[in-house]
Structure formats: C-alpha cells, structure tokens
C-alpha cells in the first residue's frame, strides 16, 4: 500500500472551494502587500496562540531573524539554543553576527534540556531560543525562570508547534516572541512561504511591524535598518481559511498517533526494538486537562538502532518517511568555526542517528497506519 509521508492534495481537495474563492478575492482586490487579509491573519493567529499581537512575515526563518533584530542582537552576543532542530534556528542567530551556543536535548522529548542552560550563560548571553520540536512544547517553566533571573530574552521557535500547549498555555505565548512558519508541510501551511511573530508586548510588536518594512516610519524615513520581511496577502488569505480547520487537523493527528501506539502495542514490537514518541498523557482526550499539555504531532517520530535499513525497507514498500534531522547543527560544516566537535552533545547525536518520522498527516487512514506498522513488523521479523 502506498503511504506518502504527507498528502497535501487530500487536504486541498477537502477545502478547495473556500481556498479558491479566497485566492480569487485577493486577485480581484489587487491588494497584494499587507492590507486587510494580512491584518486579519495577524489578529486571528495571535488570538489562536493566546498572544496579544501578531506580525506577519515572509517565512518562519525570517520570523526568528526579525525577533533577534528587534532586540538588537548582533556581533559579540550569544544566544543559547539546541543543536537538534532545523537549520534556521541557529542559522538566524549566526546571520545577525551573534554566536549560537548549544545545549543538548532530553532523550525522550527531543527538546532542549533546560537543566543544561545555566552553565552556558556568560556576560555575553542575550537570549534563549527554545524550539518546540515535532509539535511538543519544551519544558518552559525552568526556561522562563532562568531567563527572568538572568534578564534574557526568550524566543520560542514554534514553527512546528502552532496550537501546542504547555500547562494550558499555547506555543508562542510564553516567551518574549513566538515564531511560526506557514511552510506548506507545517500543521498550518500556506501556498508557499510565510510566517508570523507573536508577542504579548505592545512596544515589541509595534517595532516588529516597522522592522519588517525596512525600519521605515513614516514612509521613506528609516529609523533603523530592517528589511523586507512582509507576509504576502495571498498567503494570509489562505491561512485565514485554513486556521478554522486547524483544531480538527490537530485532533486527527493526535488520533493517528494514538492509533500508531496501539498498533505497535498489538504487534508485539518491543520498546527495545522501536522507541515510540513521548506522549503527554492528556493528548489522550480521556486525560484532557490532567497535565494541560497538548502535543500537535507535526511529526510522529520513532527510534531504531537500524534506522537507515528500516527506512530503505519502508521505501521499497511505498511508505514515505523522513529523517528530522540527520546532522546536528554543532557538527554542520558551516558552524566549524564555533569550535564544537562530535561527542559534545551525545543525545542530539544519538537522535540524529536513530530517529525516523512516519506519516501522521490528518487524512491518513486506519488501513494506511496499519500498513506502516505491519511493514515495520516485517522488517523486525
Ligand atoms: C520549518 C522550520 C523553520 C523555518 O521555517 P520556514 O518557514 O521554512 O522558513 C524554523 N524552525 C523550525 C524548527 C522549523 O521546523
């Protein structure tokens, strides 16, 4: 059975009339830069994320970059983050001229290990960029406690976590800035690149809006050096339609995750053979509210010591998978000058060698999920 990693055509078919009408309306208006669709999108995404203000930007990467620029972070500064994430997290830090300083992840959640942050703080540290990987929020209480004590800015890379919750609080709403991506493969994907920065702070939010438009206010008077980081009206129109469906899609992803867990259990595959994702108990509706955590499963990621062979086996059977991410950032060639070496962050390196993302998209059928687990069972023998 063919099981793609992601099936965006299935999602489009389900909402095609609405999307097509929204796109058509933008063309009729010829209002492509900022304007009412972008404003509506900013208000809706901010409200959805329990944040006061939203600023639509050109991508998730630019969301991270503009948040750093908004704080004047640059050469001589250090920003603490994780090496087990998409490149943009540390890439945005390095692009400002600041230095990414890594701490390792937790083996079970794949998120930054907050217990290691404090030892990396120096007089140059300006911010912590925390990532909510795969749709599960990082342990924010200790991160915020440390940041408050040392007066550090907290930027949440919530590109994979829109709508995720930590003790009842949404991704992006806890730190100084929350950064989202509308890249098509994210849970709330546009028809191209797009992103959003949210903040609870009126002053920071107002500055972001000037920063994303060349630092220009009023027109042709530049207060500081910003850039063109604007969200397209077309993307905003698509996001405005899709946001209404996001909770349905997140619930479908959670149901698929629980189905996988059950199928693995029934198959008799041991946890020594395949490691399953860490599940907050209340992701299961039966436990709703117990710990207030909500995993939105941008990815369902398993572990195997024979990961690469398993991936080849699944590919031969028509099952799509992906490795997020095969090379931790501290050993990327472009970061050689940071002076890190293999062995510095053992949990990140082990995750990079062992993890595999399975299809988890909302439209995945029971038969497809069963086919994935039975193919893995066949590999294990
Ligand atoms: C996707 C992603 C980004 C970058 O988002 P783009 O919209 O592709 O620029 C940043 N961080 C993480 C963790 C991501 O998954």
160 lines ligand 1 (CB under 6 A): yes
Q: CA distances (Å), 38 to each of 68, 193, 215, 333, in order? A: 22, 14, 18, 38
Q: CATH number of the domain at 246-380, out of 3.90.1150.10, 2.40.30.10, 3.40.50.720, 3.30.9.10?
A: 3.90.1150.10
CATH topology for the 8-243 domain: 3.40.640
Please provide the average confidence, as pLDDT, over all residues in the chain: 96
Q: Decide whether any atom of ligand 1 lies within 6 Å of the 88 Cβ.
A: yes
For ligand 1, whether the C-beta of 159 sits within 6 Å is yes
Average pLDDT of the segment spanning 53-59: 98
Q: How far is the CA of 377 from the centre of ligand 1 (A)?
A: 32
* pLDDT, tens digit (0-9, with 9 covering 90-100), for 368-378: 999 999 999 99
Ranges of each domain in the chain: 8-243, 246-380
Token digits for 323? 């490795």
Tell me, using a 6 A CB cutoff, whether residue 85 lines ligand 1: yes
Atom of ligand 1 nearest to the CA of 92: 10
If DSSP codes are grouped into helix, strand and coil, which group holds residue 369?
A: helix
Nearest to 295 by CA among 338, 236, 239, 250: 250
Whether the pLDDT of residue 286 is over 50: the answer is no
State how beta strands 153-157 and 177-181 pair: parallel
Helix extents (H) in the chain: 8-29, 36-48, 60-70, 88-95, 140-150, 202-211, 233-242, 246-267, 307-316, 346-354, 366-380
pTM of the model: 0.97
Residue 105 contacts residue 115 (beta carbons within 8 Å): no
How far apart CA 187 and CA 160 sit, in angstroms, is 7
| 146-204 pLDDT per residue, tens | 999 999 999 999 999 999 999 889 999 999 999 999 999 999 999 999 999 999 999 99
Report which protein residue has its CA nearest ligand 1's atom 5.
Answer: 60
Position 290 pLDDT exceeds 80:
no
Whether ligand 1 lies within 6 angstroms of the CB of 61 is answered as: yes
Q: Which atom of ligand 1 is nearest to the CA of 195?
A: 7
């Amino acid at each position: 059975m063919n099981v793609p990693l992601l099936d965006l055509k299935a999602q489009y078919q389900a909402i095609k009339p609405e999307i097509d009408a929204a796109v058509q309306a933008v063309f009729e208006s010829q209002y492509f830069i900022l304007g009412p669709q972008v404003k509506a999108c900013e208000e809706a995404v901010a409200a959805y994320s329990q944040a006061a203000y939203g600023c639509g930007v050109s991508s998730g990467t630019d969301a991270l970059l503009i948040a750093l620029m908004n704080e004047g972070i640059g050469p001589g500064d250090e920003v603490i983050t994780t090496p087990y994430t998409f490149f943009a997290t540390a890439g945005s830090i390095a692009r400002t001229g600041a230095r990414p300083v890594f701490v390792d992840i937790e083996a079970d959640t794949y998120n930054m290990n907050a217990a290691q942050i404090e030892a990396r703080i120096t007089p140059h540290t300006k911010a912590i960029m925390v990532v909510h990987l795969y749709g599960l929020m990082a342990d924010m209480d200790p991160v915020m406690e440390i940041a408050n004590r040392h007066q550090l800015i907290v930027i949440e890379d919530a590109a994979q976590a829109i709508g995720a919750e930590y003790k009842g609080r949404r991704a992006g709403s806890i730190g100084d800035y929350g950064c989202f991506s509308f890249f098509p493969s994210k849970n709330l994907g546009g028809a191209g690149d797009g992103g959003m920065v949210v903040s609870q702070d009126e002053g920071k939010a107002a500055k972001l809006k000037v920063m994303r438009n060349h630092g220009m206010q009023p027109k042709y008077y530049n207060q500081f050096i910003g850039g063109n980081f604007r969200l397209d009206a077309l993307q905003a129109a698509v996001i405005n339609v899709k946001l209404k469906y996001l909770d349905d899609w997140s619930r479908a992803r959670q149901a698929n995750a629980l189905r996988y867990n059950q199928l693995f259990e029934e198959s008799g595959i041991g946890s020594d053979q395949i490691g399953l994702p860490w599940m907050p108990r209340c992701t299961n509706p039966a436990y709703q509210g117990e710990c207030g955590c909500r995993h939105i499963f941008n990815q369902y990621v398993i572990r195997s010591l024979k990961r690469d062979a398993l991936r080849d086996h699944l590919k031969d059977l028509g099952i799509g998978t992906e490795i997020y991410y095969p090379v931790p950032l501290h050993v990327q060639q472009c970061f050689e000058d940071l002076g890190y070496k293999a062995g510095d962050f053992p949990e990140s390196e082990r995750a990079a060698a062992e993890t595999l993302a399975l299809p988890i998209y909302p439209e995945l059928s029971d038969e497809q999920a069963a086919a994935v687990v039975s193919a893995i069972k066949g590999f294990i023998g």
